[in-house]
Amino acid sequence: MQEALEGPLLALENDSLRRALRAPLLRAYSAAEGDPEALINFGSNDYLGLAEEPFIAQAAIEAVGRYGTGAGASRLICGNHAPHAALEEALAAWKGTEAALAFSSGYATALGTIPSLIGPQDVVILDKLCHACIIDGARLSGAVLRIFPHNNLDRLETHLQWARKRHPKARILVATESIFSMDGDLAPLAAIVALKERYGAWLMVDEAHAAGVLGATGGGLAQALGLGGRIEIQMGTLSKALGCSGGYIVGSRTLVDWLINKARSLIFSTAPAPASAATATASVRWMSTEAAHERRALLWTNVALFQKTWPELAAAQSPIAPVLVGGNEETLRLSKRLLAAGFFVPAIRYPTVPRGRERLRVTISARHSADSIQRLTVALRAGLGTLDGPQ
Ligand SMILES: *Cc1c(COP(=O)(O)O)cnc(C)c1O
C-alpha cells in the first residue's frame, strides 16, 4: 500500500496540491488581535464570532452536566434527547416552517436527504458551483445528473425542458446554494423558484453561508426574499455563522417525517451530542434578538470596509471575498506571504474550485477590527504585486 499511495502523494506535492492538517490556529479574533505573535484569522466561516460566545459555551456546559457527553444511540433507537427536540423547534420557528430535522453535519444532511427523495428514475439539476455534499448526495441517489453553468438561468431552463420531455413521470430536483461558498455571490433565487414552479420541479436550497447572515433575523436568503414557503427543501449548517456544529433541513412536517423514515445518515448514525444540540439551540434562538441584529450590522460594516479598499470585488453581497490568483503555486505563495505578515487567508485550489480559478478566500467577521481589515488589504496588495514581478 505504501508504494501505491506515496507516488500519487508526491505528484500532488509537485503540483502544489498536497494538503496537510495545519497546527491549530488561534481562532479568537479578538484575542488574536491583542497578541502581536498571533495570526489574525481571515479564513473562518464564523461570521458573527459566535464560536467563542460565552453564553453559547455556557449552554454546552449545562447540557453536559445534565445529559452527559454522548447521545448513546441513533435518534430512532434511544439517542433522541430533549435538546434535539428543542433545537428542531427553534429551527422551525426561526425559519418559519412547519418542521425541522437536525443532522450531525451539513454534509450528512445532504447525503441523507437527496437519496431519500430522488431515485435512479429521477433527475437532479445542479448549479456547477454547488458544494461537494450536494454533488455527492445527488450521485448517491443514482439519478440522472444535469449541471448548469453557475447562475445561468437559460441553461437551467433548457435542462428543465429536457427533463420534463424525456422523463415525464420523473421527479425533478433543482439544487443550489444561496450564498456560494467559494465565490460569495448569490443565487438568483426568485427566478429559480419561478422556473422550478413552471416545470413542476422541487427545489433544494443550501443556505450554509447565508444562515445567520442574510434576512431580518438571519434566516437566510429565502427569508430575505420572502421565498421560504415556496422552497420544498431548505438546508443549512449550524457550523458557520451559528458557531456550533450540525446540519439541518427545514420544511413541511411531511418532508421531515419522510426523512426520519428514510435518511440513512440520520438513521444509521449516532445522534449529535445533546450538548451540541443545546449550543445550537442557544445560537438559533439568539438570531432573532436585538444583539444579533447589531452583530449582523457590525458584520456588514466590516464587509463594506473591506470592499471599499478592494473595489474589484463589486458590491458587497456576502462576507466571502474571493481574490482570484490563478495557479496553485502562486496562490500558495501569496497565502504564505500573508502568514508571514500575520494573517491567515486560505489558498483554495482544485478540486474545491476549478483549475485556473485558484484563489485566496477572504472571509470577514463581525469580530475583526477596522484596523486589521485595513492592514490585511495593504498586505494583500503588496503580496499580489510581488506575484507579477521576478521571483
Ligand atoms: C460547509 C458547507 C456544508 C457542510 O456543512 P458541515 O456542517 O460543515 O458539514 C454544506 N454546504 C455548503 C455550501 C457548505 O459550505
Q: What Cα–Cα distance (Å) separates residue 194 from each residue in 152, 179, 198, 207, 231?
A: 14, 19, 6, 18, 10
Distance 105 CA to ligand 1 centre (A): 8
Which of 122, 84, 86, 124 lies closest to 260, judged by CA? 84
Ligand 1 nearest atom to the CA of residue 246, by list position: 7
CA distance 352 to 348: 7
| Residue 233, CA atoms < 13 Å, CB-side half-sphere | 26
CA distance 141 to 118: 6
Predicted confidence at residue 26, as pLDDT, reads 55
Which CATH architecture group holds 54-286? 3-Layer(aba) Sandwich (3.40)
Q: Could you confirm whether 80 is annotated as catalytic?
A: no
- For residue 215, give the amino acid letter: G
Please calculate the CA angle 233-238-240 and round it to the nearest 5 degrees. Answer: 110
Distance 236 CA to ligand 1 centre (A): 7
Cell of 341: 505578515
Predicted confidence at residue 98, as pLDDT, reads 98
User: 172-177 and 123-127 as β-strands: parallel, antiparallel, unpaired?
Assistant: parallel
Ligand 1 nearest atom to the CA of residue 131, by list position: 13
CA distance 51 to 30: 12
Distance 391 CA to ligand 1 centre (A): 37
CATH of 8-38+290-384, one of 3.30.420.40, 3.10.110.10, 3.30.70.3340, 3.90.1150.10: 3.90.1150.10
Cell of 331: 496562490
CA distance 187 to 331: 26
Cell of 383: 503580496
CA distance 23 to 120: 43
Which of 45, 46, 105, 107 for a ligand 1 pocket mutation test, highest count of atoms within 8 Å of Cβ? 107
Q: What is the enclosing helix (H) or strand (E) of 84?
A: helix 82-95
The distance of Cα 319 from the centroid of its chain, to the nearest Å, equals 12
Q: Is residue 182 within 8 Å of 320, Cβ to Cβ?
A: yes
Q: Is residue 313 within 8 Å of 307, Cβ to Cβ?
A: yes
Predicted confidence at residue 391, as pLDDT, reads 40
Predicted confidence at residue 110, as pLDDT, reads 98
Domain residue spans of the chain: 8-38+290-384, 54-286
Radius of gyration, CA atoms only, the chain: 21
Residues of the chain where predicted confidence (pLDDT) is lower than 70: 23-37, 314-316, 388-391
pLDDT (tens digit, 9 = 90+) per residue, 74-93?
A: 999 999 999 999 999 999 99
Number of Cβ within 10 Å of residue 311's Cβ equals 8
**Residue 215: CB partners within 8 Å, gap ≥ 6?**
221, 222, 223, 224
- For residue 173, give the amino acid letter: L
Within 6 Å (CB) of ligand 1, which residues are found?
Answer: 105-107, 131, 133, 177, 181, 206, 208-209, 237, 239, 247
Ligand 1 nearest atom to the CA of residue 177, by list position: 13
Q: Which of 84, 95, 240, 368 is catalytic?
A: 240
124: helix, coil or strand?
strand
Q: What Cα–Cα distance (Å) separates residue 15 from each residue in 11, 27, 211, 331, 355?
A: 6, 29, 35, 12, 12
Q: Could you confirm whether 185 is annotated as catalytic?
A: no
Q: Could you confirm whether 45 is annotated as catalytic?
A: yes
Cell of 321: 471575498
| Whole-model pTM over 0.75 | yes
Predicted confidence at residue 388, as pLDDT, reads 66
Q: What is the enclosing helix (H) or strand (E) of 248?
A: strand 247-251
Predicted confidence at residue 19, as pLDDT, reads 84
